[in-house]
Amino acid sequence: MAVQERPVALAGPDRRAQLSLFARNFFKHPRMLGSIIPSSPFLVRRLLERVDWGRARVIVEYGPGVGTITREILNRLHPNATLVVIETNDDFVDFLNRSLYDPRLKVIAGSAEDIQAQLNQLGLPPADYVLAGLPFSTMPAECRERILAASREALGSGGAMLIYQFSPKVSSDLRQTFTRVESDFEPINVPPARLYYCHK
């Protein structure tokens, strides 16, 4: 009987290893992470409900950390689609490269600001979705503005940027950058999170 080859979304290190690596990095870079544990399944589900999985062919995730959202994206992603994850923390990049095997996944060591250069280098068209849980409220304003503007430019028509945050500070920048912004809230997360769905 022919066995259908399927990408392996998770192999190797288990959940305990993910939590431990995330917590250690929180103590090293608290402002870059914002929480001592990764996003809850409730937050991940609420964020990903907004994705049209039948249509999406290019998704970019900023700050995947230990891959909590990444794994759930891969579980839902169309077989012909590509997921690009961009992460500044080398420990996390290394962990993702060691623990996630999926031909649809491209792990990039770098900053979200360079999204367009990364898409060009991979020969990909504009993104359908950009997903971000970056610490926008603690980064310098110029950096936040550059990332938001670059994300808007990298989205194709009908594209959306889906964001979760632990502070409302970014909301005015979002409303200045995007045509339409909807907001939402997920209480079952540490800490409770605001969500913003930003349309190009």
Ligand X SMILES: C[S@@+](CC[C@H](N)C(=O)[O-])C[C@H]1O[C@@H](n2cnc3c(N)ncnc32)[C@H](O)[C@@H]1O
Applying CB under 6 A, which residues contact ligand X?
32-35, 38-39, 62-65, 68-69, 86-89, 92, 111-112, 133-135
* Residue 150 amino acid letter: A
Phi, psi (rounded to 5 degrees) for 116: -65, -45
Closest residue by beta carbon to ligand X: 63
Instruction: Report how far residue 151's alpha carbon sits from residue 131's, in angstroms, rounded to the nearest whole number.
Output: 10
Q: Which is nearer to ligand X, 36 or 81 (CB)?
A: 36
CB of 1 to ligand X, least distance (A): 39
Residue with Cβ nearer ligand X (92 or 129): 92
Of the CA atoms within 13 Å of residue 164, those in its CB half-sphere come to 28
Tell me which DSSP letter residue 96 carries: H
Q: Which residue lies nearer to ligand X by CB, 64 or 159? A: 64
- Residue 38 or 159: the one with the smaller Cβ distance to ligand X is 38
Measured CA to CA, the distance from residue 73 to residue 43 in angstroms comes to: 13
**Min. distance of Cβ 65 from ligand X in angstroms?**
3
Nearer to ligand X, 135 or 159 (CB): 135
82 vs 189 by CB, closer to ligand X: 189
- 């110029």: which residue's tokens? 142
Question: What is the nearest approach in angstroms of ligand X to the Cβ of residue 46?
Answer: 12
Least separation in angstroms between CB 123 and ligand X: 21
| CB distance 177 to 148 below 8 Å | yes
- Tell me the backbone φ, ψ of residue 199, rounded to 5 degrees: -100, 140
- Minimum separation from the CB atom of position 89 to ligand X (A): 4
Which residue from 151, 133, 161, 142 is spatially nearest to 50, judged by alpha carbons? Answer: 161
Q: Please give the Cα distance from 140 to 123 (Å, whole number).
A: 30
Nearest distance from residue 108's CB to ligand X, in Å?
9
